[in-house]
Amino acid sequence: MTSPAAVRVRDNDCMPTPASPLQIGPHTVQPPVVLAPMAGITNAPFRRLCREFSGGKGLFVSEMITTRALVERNDKTMQLITFHASEQPRSIQLYGVDPATVGKAVRMIAEEGLADHIDLNFGCPVPKVTRKGGGSALPYKRNLLRAILREAVAGAGGLPVTMKMRKGIDDDHLTYLDAGRIAVEEGVTAIALHGRTTAQHYGGTADWDAIARLKEHVPEIPVLGNGDIWSAEDALRMVRATGCDGVVVGRGCLGRPWLFADLVAAFEGRTERVRPTLREVADVMVRHATLLGEWIGDESRGVVDFRKHVAWYLKGFSVGSEMRRRLAVTSSLQELRAGLDELDLDQPWPAGADGPRGRTSGTNRVVLPDGWLNDPYDCAGVGEDAELDTSGG
């Protein structure tokens, strides 16, 4: 793979921030940049690509693993929690609704040395999960949240436990400040806040003021800001605007793993930014698909899994709809490479391709269990079927 081209940005876009190293338990994350967990995306191959571009700096979190599937040692789940040897520290994100099952899953990870850091996901907005009180609906039940965090921290045997959440269910039912306080009381190491409510899904803009408010509310532990970081400059702006201790970057690196090179450069006060030509992008695409095939143990399945990334990588390039379609249905590396080679590979990085990508859909009605909002402090539990079929945060 050739090394993608770099350009320079204006000096005032990359002033080093005063951010001190981010400490996640024993792990120093410097610069304080974190790859957001993304179901179906942040598997070992994608984390590895991002890490290569960052020069090994930063923290790269696995896609969400459901605790019940983990304790049952489901085959697919055991595959999902594999790490490449270069991944240090190893971060696993767990999603669970039952304190006892979460405790068991965390204990399994700690006792079997399966990871070095555990993140808990309370941000999933998917209706089929919130309908049962799971995902981002769960923190509304303060006692249940507390019980899950308590079991997780107790089971972790010294591994740092962090949590990731949204602002709340909607603007009338915000939960993040209470959840932050509970997290501190239960020994959680750091909190990441996605500045949206469940109702917002991925629509509108992330509320960075909420990140600032959480930072003030829980000065005891690091607060990581998440939402709408599309460039390294956005990341610096978020740190300046909110005082957060680090940034979590999700959709911005879809089809753009080199964003991590930019993030590291910006936090280190350097001006160069990666702006690959289509030829360089094509090389990264083939490498990504190759890594997926190696990880799955089957080239063709790797290329099929890679299909979802194609449109993100090609965003803004002049490719033509027919070729876009063709590249999104390839089944072998040879077919993928041959298709890419038909393109005008000398195209420079397109203006505007740095902007939003991935899900951006707007407001939805939040589906909750009957009576869910009546009492934030009742001791309701959530059926374990709220664990099934979840797809992210």
Q: Is 124 a catalytic residue?
A: yes
Closest distance of CB 358 from ligand FMN, Å: 5
Question: What is the SS3 assignment for 45?
Answer: helix
Gap between the Cα atoms of 53 and 3, Å rounded: 10
Q: Is 194 in the site for ligand FMN (CB under 6 A)?
A: yes
Q: Is 227 in the site for ligand FMN (CB under 6 A)?
A: yes
Q: Is 183 in the site for ligand FMN (CB under 6 A)?
A: no
The DSSP bridge partners found for residue 28 are 23
> Considering only residues 133, 168, 246, 393, which one is a binding residue for ligand FMN as defined by CB under 6 A?
393
Among the options 124, 244, 253, 379, which is catalytic? 124
How far is C-alpha 248 from the chain's CA centre? 7
What DSSP assignment string belongs to 313-325?
A: HHTTS---HHHHH
Q: How far is CA 274 from CA 118, 265, 279, 291, in A?
A: 31, 10, 13, 22
Closest distance of CB 38 from ligand FMN, Å: 4
> Considering only residues 123, 180, 257, 302, which one is a binding residue for ligand FMN as defined by CB under 6 A?
123
Gap between the Cα atoms of 254 and 194, Å rounded: 17
Q: Is 339 in the site for ligand FMN (CB under 6 A)?
A: no
Q: Is 226 in the site for ligand FMN (CB under 6 A)?
A: yes
112's tokens: 């079997």
x/- binding map, residues 344-383, to ligand FMN, per CB under 6 A?
A: --------------xx------------------------
Taking the least distance from each CB to ligand FMN, the nearer of 129 and 314 is 129
Taking the least distance from each CB to ligand FMN, the nearer of 212 and 340 is 212
Is the separation of the CB atoms in 227 and 194 below 8 Å?
Answer: yes
Q: Is 225 in the site for ligand FMN (CB under 6 A)?
A: no
Question: What is the SS3 assignment for 4?
Answer: coil
Strands 272-274 and 6-8, bridge-based pairing: antiparallel
**Helix, strand, coil % over all residues of the chain, rounded to 5:** 40, 15, 45
Q: Is 246 in the site for ligand FMN (CB under 6 A)?
A: no
The residues annotated as belonging to the active site are 124
Binding site for ligand FMN (CB under 6 A): 36-39, 41, 63-64, 93, 121, 123, 164, 194, 226-229, 249-252, 358-359, 392-393
